[in-house]
Amino acid sequence: MGRVYALNVVGTIPAELESLRYLANLNLQQNYLTGPVPSFIGKLTFMQYLGIGSNNFTGELPEELGNLTKLEQLYIDSSGFSGPFPSTLSKLKNLEKLWASDNDFTGKIPDYLGTLTKLVELRFQGNSFQGPIPASLSNLSNLTSLRIGDIVNGSSSLAFISNLTSLNILILRNCKISDNLRTVNFSKLGRLTLLFLGNNSLTGSLPDAKSSSLTNLDFSYNQLTGSFPSWYSTFRTKLFTTRHSMFARFSRINKSMKGSDNTIYEVDAANLGVASYYVTRNTRWGVSNVGIFNDASSRNYVINSSQQFQNTLDSELFQTARMSPSSLRYYGLGLENGNYSVKLQFAEFAYPDSKTWESTGRRIFDIYVQGVLKEKNFDIRKAVGGKSFTAVNKIYNTIVSKNFLEIHLFWAGKGTCCIPTQGYYGPMISALSVTPNFTPTVRNGEPKKKSKAGVIVGIVIGALVLGSAALVGIFMLISKRRKATQQQEELYNLAGRPNVFSNAELKLATENFSSQNMVGEGGYGQVYKGKLPDGRVIAVKQLSQSSHQGKSEFVTEVATISAVQHRNLVKLHGCCIDSNTPLLVYEYLENGSLDRALFGSKSFNLDWPTRFEIVLGVARGLTYLHEESSVRIVHRDIKASNVLLDTDLTPKISDFGLAKLYDEKKTHISTKIAGTLGYLAPEYAMRGHLTEKADVFAFGVVALETVAGRPNTDNSREEDKIYLFEWAWTLYESGQALGIVDPKLKEFNEKEALRVICAALLCTQGSPHQRPSMSRVMAILAGDIEVTEVVTKPSYITEWQLRGGGDTSYATSSYYSGSTTGEFREKRETAPLNSYPGIAGRIDEGR
């Protein structure tokens, strides 16, 4: 046994260790060892325990570690390693404990981990792994503790945890999980005591049942809906479901201090704990904290130091700081709108500047101001050259436009967790201040009245700020608002008061709706790119006077999208109704629409994994709209141009102007036809029969276009390939379905491609009853349901072929037989003569 534990040894691992061939236990943790781990470690093949965590190594793990096949415990956490996780570790079949958190491992979490079935503990937090989390982890039925955090990209499923019935602790923090929470039966995880699924994109509602042993749950910062379950009433002190924290009146420490610049600092409530919040009695500022320090014997949310701090004239200001294990927010309430300077003040306490194991500690967190990421992976010590007890000031300019300011410090899982003690991590701040960059019109929160008319006047005063990490509201604006018009009141009542922008704001953002900023135009109206003063880039949709969509449809869209949030749906920031035409303000997605990416003049080179993720993302979004949203929604105009791509090429469904809400008891809605030819389901085009199966049909078209890399009609091609679905069925019936795959894809997963093709053919069946639900489509795409044979070729394709293809008018096909609305007949009469069922032209224009 070799034990050099917590002795602050400096240097590299000595070469003499190579001669200890029968060494079974080597513990080098909590030292200051540097350099790479030597490859001769792989020669110590009798090793059962290897601990090299909490050191300062560099480089990658040596592949020779895979030779230690007798190894049962491996501790490499907080050691400075980087690069991919070695594939040779797949040979460690006897491994029971693997701690690898807080390094800089990259690439994907190895799928082979699912073969290490003796694993009891697995810790992979705070690295730079890419998603998704491998489904093979479901094989680790002996796991009692699983901790994964801060996945860089990709989309992960939660389904794999269903088999992990031995779990006591499960932490999946910031892992980009986008499943419905209902996919897991938590009552089967009867041994769980701690469950953390915060900071993901989970949908659905909280589980109806839980085990009695589960005493700590955190679902905060997801997209959950629905009501609280019955067990919540006896559990609320330990359940975190926050999306936007609330306020309450807590006791307050009535103490203040003056800084060297005569700034007055107030102290926030010292009793904030696991899930708590505080607002001053005059509602000028607020602070909230969410999270629990894992494995900590004592949970200190306020820490102190009597040392003198460098780089500041106000050392006393930094001797007390607030620390949070997850999320710490400060709110300025009732601020006068305008431009402000936000000053955040930090100093690290516990990590010494000497070469000791304690000095390897790293506190890393993210900083947001007004929802905008200002610092990613901010490290207090690194900002001042690796020194502790040294003040750091970060200053940001920001815009207050709604009389409200939010500062958010967030721990995504990076950095050390246990240096110098267990539970020493997360955001930490000593003081902050907010100063207006303009002359305020109110004084100290109380406006003065100059006349009976109530004209507000005031004088400039010194900014009020908070010490010990608390924020004070600077000036409270009290002013009379003009009476809202009847149209505004209607919108507010129906839409639940979404964020309202003024016309002046949006004119400034879009340079007075300059034609150079116009990025699209449809039946709805024109779309402009804009930039708000706070830096957000937006897309502004302008309701055209000639649009068939009137004010009521506009109100419906605002109400609908405001209530619906999902990672695969375009986010609505707000609206404007004080202009001549109402406006919608959306997030701007710089990569444009899917049709441009696939077959535009400047199309992207989308590889197969990206295309498959796009298809999955669209399916997830539709599943949410149809089955998981608090209101059931039929989009009615799903098409490639209504699928937008963000920076990471994550698909987001846009354009809810054609959406119709319907009650659970209704089987269909007969209404005017609204949609785009080429994506219209037969029963909807023919009879106005609308269910979610109309969206399923359109999804099938989009999915096949994505696989083929071409639109569903292309007159430049050979005659038998002009119409995508006719060609696809010809190939499918001859056993060559993969022939439809885009020839630009030199490599692709044949099984995945075939699943998408089969799903597309199922989705576009002529009868809505033959089409699967979107949740079943998801199962097909994921490979959970095998599709051995598509039912039959739809009759509308067979009839079209019998009529002679392009020589037969789409308008005279039996696809259109039967009664329909006058509006639809008018559109039908102008359809191109060479139209193919579901291909060209538009109905009711859409947008």
Give yes or no for a contact between 24 and 1, defined as CB atoms under 8 angstroms apart. Answer: yes
E strands present in 487-564: 518-521, 525-531, 537-543
DSSP tag of 310: B
Helix (H) or strand (E) holding 825: helix 822-829
Give yes or no for a contact between 83 and 63, defined as CB atoms under 8 angstroms apart. Answer: no
DSSP tag of 716: T
Tokens of 757: 């093709």
541 is in an annotated binding site: yes
Residue 758, SS3 per DSSP:
helix
CA angle (380, 382, 385) in 5-degree steps: 120
Contacts of 17 (CB under 8 A, 6+ apart): 2, 23, 26, 40, 41, 44
Please state, in angstroms and rounded to a whole number, the distance separating the CA atoms of residues 385 and 348: 12
Q: Which residues pair with 408 in a beta bridge?
A: 329, 368
Q: Which residues pair with 82 in a beta bridge?
A: 104
**What are the angstrom distances between the C-alpha of 325 and each of 142, 308, 363, 819?**
28, 26, 11, 63
Residue 111, SS3 per DSSP:
helix
Candidate list 637, 655, 695, 742, residue with the active-site label = 637
H helical segments located in 575-641: 594-599, 608-623
Angle between helices 750-763 and 608-623 (to 10 degrees): 40
Q: Which residues pair with 310 in a beta bridge?
A: 390
Burial class (CB in 10 A: 0-12, 13-18, 19+), 493: exposed
| Residue 353: active-site member | no
**What are the angstrom distances between the C-alpha of 583 and each of 227, 483, 502, 635, 752?**
32, 20, 10, 20, 41
- Would you give the distance in Å from CA 464 to the centre of its chain? 35
Residue 806's CB is within 10 A of a number of other CB atoms, namely 17
Contacts of 143 (CB under 8 A, 6+ apart): 119, 120, 121, 122, 164, 166, 167
Contacts of 7 (CB under 8 A, 6+ apart): 30, 31
Contacts of 776 (CB under 8 A, 6+ apart): 785
Please state, in angstroms and rounded to a whole number, the distance separating the CA atoms of residues 321 and 469: 6
Please state, in angstroms and rounded to a whole number, the distance separating the CA atoms of residues 175 and 177: 5
Rg (CA), the chain: 30
Contacts of 488 (CB under 8 A, 6+ apart): 577, 578
DSSP tag of 843: B
E strands present in 380-524: 392-400, 404-410, 428-429, 431-436, 448-449, 456-457, 464-467, 518-521
Burial class (CB in 10 A: 0-12, 13-18, 19+), 272: buried
User: What amino acid positions are annotated as catalytic residues?
Assistant: 637
Residue ranges for the known binding site are 541
Residue ranges for the known binding site for ATP are 541
